[in-house]
Structure 1
Amino acid sequence: MQAWVSYLADVPVALLRLIAASQRVSLSRRGSRDECLLRVRRALCRPASVRAVYFSLSAEAQAAAQTLRAEPRTLSMQAVTSRYGPLRSLAALRQDRKPRSLAELFVLAGWLLPRPASRQHPCRYVVPPEVRAWLPRPLRIDDARCMPEASLNAVPVSPSDLLAVRAATLVLLAAAQHPVVVVRNGCPSRATLHRLRVGLLPLPVREAEALLRWVTPLLGDLALLAPHGRAAVPAPAAAAWLAAPHATRVQTLVEAWMRAPRPEVALLPPRAAQSGVDWSALRRRLLAWAEHVPVTVVPDEAFVALTAAFGPLADATTHPFRTKRRPPWNHQTMREVWGRSLQGPLRWLGALRGQVEAQAVPGCWEYQAPGELRVAHAAVGPELLAMMPFAHVVGGDEAGLLLRFEQSVIARAVGRGCHLGRARAVLEQQAGSLPPAWEPLFALAGSVRLVQRTVVIGDQPQVLQDLQRYRAIHRLLETILAPGVALVHPGQEELLVAQLAQLGYAAQVLPSRHESVPLPDLTPAETATLLLASQYYQATAPAHAPPGPHDALLERLRAALPAALRNATDTALAHLLATHHATTEPSATPPLHEPPPDHAAQLHRWLQALREAIQKRRVVAVLYQGVLDPYPQERVLQPVRLERHGAVWYAYAYCFLAHGERCFRLDRVWKLEVLDLTQAEEHARSLPTAPADEQGHDDSAKRRKRVPRTGFFASPPPPSEHHPLVRVWLQEEE
């Protein structure tokens, strides 16, 4: 660097300022020559600056710059103009700094400097020796020095056999079969690794586990896995990712790896410094290096050639947060990082040039032994997600995955509510008709339900009688209350479900109503789903529909979302509303029931009719719009009393639809009619069964004695036996 600085010190100040302006070096207008020289030296006289200027040139200029290394020590004016083009004067360059020839380009870069004329030598040009040494050398890798045949990098693979895609697909399928347990950093637990590594054969155990630890957090970053507490299940985007072309899936994983916010400590040797690393910049540099290296080249030879062509692997770009001036890593550390990346992420992603050469062969689903299904990697798609609750992966190789169907697994899936017929239809569509040996697997012995974890109810009375023959089931049942109903010993519910699944019985566990299960917090994806559904309901619900969530609740949901997800939710809502308005005609049919225009005027007549019904103990039929009812419903009431709170009148009455006393707002009544005995009995017979929410609205109402409708209307009973409610009949005073 001493020679380059001495050459810069001899050039005119005008040229020094032109070089600084061309290379965007900040100079003071009134600065001295020494200050200008110091700033230009700090900005240009460095290997990183030479490489940065070189890679910013065009291909023609880069080829010409390579010839500077072979030029003589000094060049005459005629030699410069004949080889690199004419040179303008300093005054002309000050008027227009845009270079018009390669000679002007090299002069403004500081690579070709004029030397003042002396007594023995005329004016000449010189190339600094530092520029000759620091110019990147063209990448020339001797392909004859190949790796041994036993190396994993020496064999080209099919696009569907890339390890990153295989591992990501395996994790998604395993999560569809059973939620995968993840630890705090997003990696799968040890038990999950033991369960999944069989699908990555013939990889060694250590490499398979490293691959699964590497790819699982990337699936979380891509929102393909939805976390629920310590477990994760496939997100809705997982099906779209499996249906995408292979190149799209690989590119998605590459981009997720480059943007990953986590440090990748596995790439570093034990004693390498981890502070100040920009992992995104380091990953981009590793990918750029891998694009220029054939897969058959020895890594050490490739590292030497790449370092000479592109500079060191670690510099201020990859370590921008490092305050020390010395290099972040030494030569040996950078070599080990490059070697580990070749055997790790670069190989898994197929980033090495020439690794993906074979054409992908269309795959298929193939029946093998009873209960075993072979699925080629090229045939893995979103249809396989629907099959995974009924099967599990028991093996895998370069050709495909091996799935096994067992009757116990199928019974457990049916007990969780999975549709067996739909899965069988997908299986027959992809692999053909079901072989006869597979029929017993899909023929369940029966199904039972466990209510509140203590009562077992069989769909058929003889189911429990058949189960009594098995000693393992008999020991878990406490007693049989009735045909098809039994009690279970406390704490033995899970064991009973497992035993029933082994025997081919689908056991559906119905949790207790009062059972409090701690639920994890909502994920951003679940919050966005609730917000989208609520906003869509508010925008499209008819006028007579129940009110949606409060605006304050929607604002809380919006505030909990990240900015990117919030914008995506708004875009999806706008698309849904546009589709809804396009498919809905402007002249849509009105609601089934509209309030009468003289609703306020009829309120006085309805009050008189209700007072008369209370006095004479008559029954009235009303058309009432409840808060939770989508449309007004017809109800038969026996009014008890009237009350007024402010401007609203309330009627307390016994409702024969809900079989209990209810309070009704008269401004929600759209029609009222006083019935005689015959009309009341006909209306009572035509009423539908009470809805579940009204039946369970009041627990005390369930314990009351219900009077049959026919007996109620048969003859007017005494006041104390008219219905189960004992009330003091009041009449409002006018």
Structure 2
Amino acid sequence: LHIHPPSPEHDEEETFLLEVREIGRQPTSQATFTLPIRFSLEGVIPPDPQVPGHYRLTRRHLLRALQRGHTLTGILNLLEEAAGPLPPLLVGTVYRWAEEFGQVTLRQVVLLEARDPALLQELTARRRIRETLRETLSARAVRVDRSRLDALIRRLERRGVVPRLDLADQPPPSVGDLSGEDRVVIATALRLYVRLADELRLPARPPHTLAHAWGEGLTLAQRDEVERLVEEALERLRRATPPGESYRLPVPTGPLLEALEEAIAAGETVEIEYYTAGRGHVTRRQVEPLRLEWRGEVVYLIAYCHLRKDQRVFRVDRIADVKRET
């Protein structure tokens, strides 16, 4: 997969053209465009109906993919799996587009409505019912805590009130009968699977909305515990992975940063051993490090790649080794 930069003269909006080239036209170290990669890519970027083998990545396509539950890490991993190390312009533009996602949020709410305001007032005066509710919106409507919906239905029925259920979709998981420990375990499992799916290109991933729903009902202390357990599990997987295993997790970046910073300061060329997530593929490249950039918790190396004869972006946590030329 070859990536063409936007052409201001021809594009009304910023558009990266992704072109599938024949194997004979690709450098030998470039991965072939397999069917699994194609299906995953078309889940993010629709193919150009006019030109077979062309995909056009725009801001709108990226934001819609994020809306469907894809993560920015997962999208960048997929593009790198298909095209190798990515151009800095593409990475920077994708991060800029992604910053716009979530400026406005639409949430589904559940309302308890009553034809008679007196009945609603009577019900909300009951402590066991009131603790399942949120703010009052009008004399006839109160917002319901979605995580307590099942409990509210049971408590209404105990008082002889059988509500009409007019719900557009299934409510989020009911956690009313689960202990805090159980909820932390479930949220941790979902979070860990999402992280592994993004890092290792697993064939399936849980819906983002499901993982978010389980995490949303946790206290701050419980959320911290989930993140701690996820990081601990990933670290144990890193330590347990046999040498040479194709599916390796990223390694800590700390030991590499000093060598890269020294090479940048000296203007030296280095040889890196780089692992591409999803391919189980390690390549050695000669690069001239230019700068390091932090995007959230991820550190990227911007370098001139001698193989591609152009600047490329490398995730530092996927660099297994750095050798400075003598």
The reply to whether TM is greater than 0.5 is no
Compare CA radii of gyration and give the structure with the larger one: 1
TM-score, length of structure 2 as denominator length: 0.26
Question: Larger % of helix: which?
Answer: 1
Question: Larger % of strand: which?
Answer: 2
Higher relative contact order (CA 8 A, sep 6+): 2
TM-score, length of structure 1 as denominator length: 0.14
